[in-house]
Amino acid sequence: MTDTFQLEIVTPEKKIVETKAAEEVQIPGRNGYLGIMPGHAPLITELAVGEITYRENSADQRLAVAWGFAEVLPGKVTILAETAERPAEIDVERARKAKERAEQRLASGDSTVDVERALDALQRAGARDRDIQVVRVPGAFEVPSAARTLAASRRVDAVICLACIVRGETSHYDHLANEVTRGIGQSAQETGVPHAYGVLTCDSLEQAIDRAGLKMGNKGWEAALSAVEMASLKGVVGKRALSTQHSAISRRSPHGAASAKSKSPPKRS
């Protein structure tokens, strides 16, 4: 086994990194950071917003990345990122203004922050605008009820539940978060329609800003991709189950017909 592997990091604009001497790479995955070393098992993972760190010739290199996918193959790691910047390339002033805009939108109660990213993810996955229905509710507590109504209509393939609950000075936060989570899960189980959980439960407004796309990924984007995956999985599993059922029926049919015929009373002359 070699001590290095090939690493490529590519954006839609250009190839950022191309080396055959990578010793290790840390990738911000959907469920946390993932460390890749020579001999790692093959996999494909979704990228979150974060920092890629890779080691080349015993020196660490860093890039800020957002969204995309990473593919690990024997001897090669390919990262396709929506954006990737080295520290020297980051426009600090632009980043500061983006943070200020995010803070202003959340402080104003703008409910479109996660919705816009969710719609973007759906459209990138091939969904058409006319197939997407957005339903707004007064607060997080009403999300499960609206989700159940949509799911029970049987006119949707999946339901994406988005909300933000920020902890206050009383225990109201805990009761609300528990009831919203329970209601969404119960609706999914009882209707059989996939529900994507995109509810932010945060200790502060700053944490909500970070989880709405500034530092720690975007919950709307993640929930939309989960909805697409679960709807597709349900379709595949449903077709296989139906095919198996038809096959079982076809195998039983000749015996069933013979048995029924043998049990029929004889005709009288």
For 112, residues 6+ apart whose C-beta sits below 8 A from its C-beta are 105
> What is the rounded distance in angstroms from the CA atom of residue 69 to the CA atom of residue 193?
27
Residue type, 223: A
Query: What residue has token string 């703008």?
Result: 110
| Among 15, 217, 209, 200, residue whose Cα is nearest residue 108 | 209
Of 5, 8, 26, the residue nearest 18 (C-alpha): 8
Please state, in angstroms and rounded to a whole number, the distance separating the CA atoms of residues 208 and 202: 6
Contact 199, 138 (CB under 8 A): no
| φ, ψ dihedrals at 90, nearest 5° | -70, 130
Contacts of 157 (CB under 8 A, 6+ apart): 193, 194, 231, 234, 235
* Catalytic site includes residue 172: yes
Judged on CB neighbours under 10 Å (0-12, 13-18, 19+), 12 is exposed
Q: CA-to-CA distance for 102 and 88, rounded, in angstroms?
A: 24
**Active-site annotation holder among 40, 172, 195, 246:** 172
- For the annotated catalytic residues, the residue numbers are 172
